[in-house]
Amino acid sequence: MAEKSLRTPESTRERILDAALDVFSSKGYHDTRLDEIVAESDTSKGSIYFHFPNKERLFLALVEKFADLIERRVIEAIEQQTSPMAKVEAALRACLEAFGRYRRPAKVMLVHAAGLGTVFEEKRLEINERFARLIRVYLDEAVAAGEIEAVDTDVIAYAWMGSIYHVTIRWVYSGEPSPPRIVGTLVPMLLRSVNYRRS
């Protein structure tokens, strides 16, 4: 009992999110009941409702948390590079490697969030837009620096996101192709699509 009294609101929120990840990833959104998350997190319904007004908001917070983690990994990878195309390549690798490292959250974000209605679709589109915009910025810089020829960076960024999404979805469902194989094949292919060759 003493351990529960020492929990902070933030640590309780994280416990709930961790438990929600376990339950959502194994049962899916529709088959998950809040009571299961209460039991898994060793909290109470009141604690869940204190942080999340309903199951939908809890699920969206989980998706957002994973998107933030991927974005942090991408930004950390980009910061270590100097040229725009090196940043593009680092962003692609970091994104794919994060998906490869975190299969359960990827399943929640890419599989269970699909087809859950307008609110979920808007969240997925918002996240997709966030990453496409990041790629587009560095592609534009690469064009300006003369590293690649002028291309429609808007279309390219969304096409790249589509490729990443579909290959990752296949891996989440089947375990194939393996994350190293995805990174080793997909990244060079995407870079070739803008006629970029490492010097």
Can you give the pLDDT at residue 6? 62
Structure confidence at residue 173 as a pLDDT band (50, 70, 90): confident
- The Cα 142–Cα 124 span in angstroms is 27
Q: How far is CA 42 from the centre of its chain?
A: 27
Do 58 and 52 contact (CB within 8 A), yes or no? yes
Taking CA 140 as the corner, what is the angle to CA 139 and CA 146, rounded to the nearest 5 degrees? 90
Domains defined along the chain, listed by start: 1-52 (1.10.10.60), 63-192 (1.10.357.10)
- The Cα 19–Cα 12 span in angstroms is 11
- For the chain, the straight-line distance linking the first and the last C-alpha, in angstroms and rounded, comes to 62
This model's pTM is above 0.95 = no
> pLDDT, tens digit, for every residue of 3-43?
455 678 888 999 999 999 889 888 888 888 999 999 999 99
- The Cα 100–Cα 89 span in angstroms is 16
Which residue type occupies 177?
P
Structure confidence at residue 58 as a pLDDT band (50, 70, 90): very high
Rounded (to 5) percent helix, strand, coil in the chain: 75, 0, 25
Report the pLDDT averaged over residues 96-118: 80
Q: How far is CA 126 from the centre of its chain?
A: 11
> Nearest CA to 92 among 141, 157, 154?
157
Which residue type occupies 31?
D
| Residues making up the chain, counted from first to last | 199
> pLDDT, tens digit, for every residue of 118-136?
888 888 888 889 999 999 9
Which residue type occupies 98?
A
